């Protein structure tokens, strides 16, 4: 690879979800609405948790961190998409593309790790209730979140730096609405084998590892719930996990569906995966606040108190 080739390009083209002119106002209105709902909903969760002393517990501490990660996750993608639709431009500069890719990988990984930490929190609460306050102390909770941030930062930094080493030629159209790592790597005209190895290795380790941890935690939780003699006790224990199970299912179901589907079709220039990506990049962060607040009396009470001020 010629090092000088890296400086030959200055921008990429984000092909978006559709090139039909009549659909652009609809897409703009739809994504603007979903983005505002996402930011407002998750911000209310953060404010409710921080303003109510009754919610200063490990579970809600992790929930507020998840809401913050969701706001940042969506904000790395949707604003640029809205600007491109409004200005009728598909251009994103090389620097902006790498920056967007970095933050997308970082906050996607952070979402993943926080969901895993939340599963561990539910495992301790249900399987070791008498030792919960001792095990899930403030020091451990802070450390778990800090480690999640550090691993996510290091992974996204590694992936982004490796993309900087690639050279790109004439085909600069990304069949997506944001700079997705896999799509950008496939546009390179230099050797991408090291990128592919690191990409799939980190995906297996940093996505498969947390998913394994979540499944293991819930296998123990199910065993503990099954051992509870009363039906009311079983329902109460399960209800504390229902919201988390819903969010995990939504996050992993949509993201795995996109990547396994695209791997099966080998269609690098198809925009079908871009359309499906809307589910885990925009829809899932928007639904999370509703999932955690609809059946959660503590969150509802805290929101009423906060909004009542």
Query: What pTM did the predictor assign?
Result: 0.89
* 192 CB-near residues (< 8 Å, 6+ apart): 166, 185, 186
- Percent of the chain whose predicted confidence (pLDDT) is above 90: 50
Per the CB < 8 A criterion, the answer to whether 224 and 237 are in contact is yes
**Which residue segments constitute the domains of the chain, with CATH numbers given?**
3-308 (1.20.1070.10)
DSSP code of residue 93: E
40 vs 241, residue with greater confidence: 40
Average pLDDT over residues 191-215: 90
Task: Name the burial class of residue 283, with classes exposed (0-12), middle (13-18) and buried (19+) by CB atoms within 10 angstroms of its CB.
Answer: middle
Which two three-digit tokens encode residue 172? 């600069």
CA–CA gap between residue 21 and residue 43 (Å, rounded):
33
Tell me 282's DSSP state.
I
Phi, psi of 56 (to 5 degrees): -85, 65
Inter-CA distances, 68 with 42, 59, 71, 79, 305, Å: 7, 14, 5, 17, 21
Kindly report which listed range (24-38, 107-121, 197-211, 286-300) carries the lowest average pLDDT score.
Answer: 286-300
pLDDT band, very low/low/confident/very high, at 267 (cuts 50, 70, 90):
very low
């Amino acid at each position: 690879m010629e090092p000088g080739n890296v400086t030959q390009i200055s921008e990429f083209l984000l092909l978006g979800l559709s090139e039909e002119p009549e659909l652009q106002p609809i897409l703009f209105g739809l994504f603007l609405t979903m983005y505002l709902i996402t930011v407002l909903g998750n911000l209310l969760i953060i404010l409710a948790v921080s303003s109510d002393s009754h919610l200063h517990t490990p579970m809600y501490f992790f929930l507020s961190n998840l809401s913050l990660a969701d706001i940042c996750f969506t904000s790395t993608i949707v604003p640029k998409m809205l600007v491109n639709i409004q200005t009728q431009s598909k251009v994103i500069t090389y620097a902006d593309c790498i920056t967007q890719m970095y933050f997308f990988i970082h906050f996607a990984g952070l979402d993943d790790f926080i969901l895993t930490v939340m599963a561990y929190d539910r495992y301790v609460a249900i399987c070791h209730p008498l030792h919960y306050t001792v095990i899930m102390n403030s020091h451990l909770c802070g450390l778990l979140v800090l480690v999640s941030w550090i691993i996510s930062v290091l992974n996204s930094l590694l992936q982004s730096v490796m993309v900087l080493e690639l050279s790109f030629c004439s085909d600069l159209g990304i069949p997506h609405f944001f700079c997705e790592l896999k799509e950008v790597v496939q546009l390179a005209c230099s050797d991408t084998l090291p990128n592919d190895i690191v990409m799939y290795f980190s995906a297996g380790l940093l996505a498969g590892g947390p998913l394994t941890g979540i499944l293991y935690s819930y296998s123990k939780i199910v065993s503990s719930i099954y051992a509870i003699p009363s039906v009311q006790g079983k329902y109460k224990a399960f209800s504390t996990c229902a919201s988390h199970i819903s969010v995990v299912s939504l996050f992993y179901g949509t993201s795995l569906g996109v990547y396994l589907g695209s791997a099966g079709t080998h269609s690098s220039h198809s925009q079908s995966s871009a359309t499906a990506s809307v589910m885990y990049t925009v829809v899932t962060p928007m639904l999370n606040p509703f999932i955690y607040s609809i059946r959660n009396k503590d969150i509802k009470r805290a929101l009423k108190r906060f909004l009542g001020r």
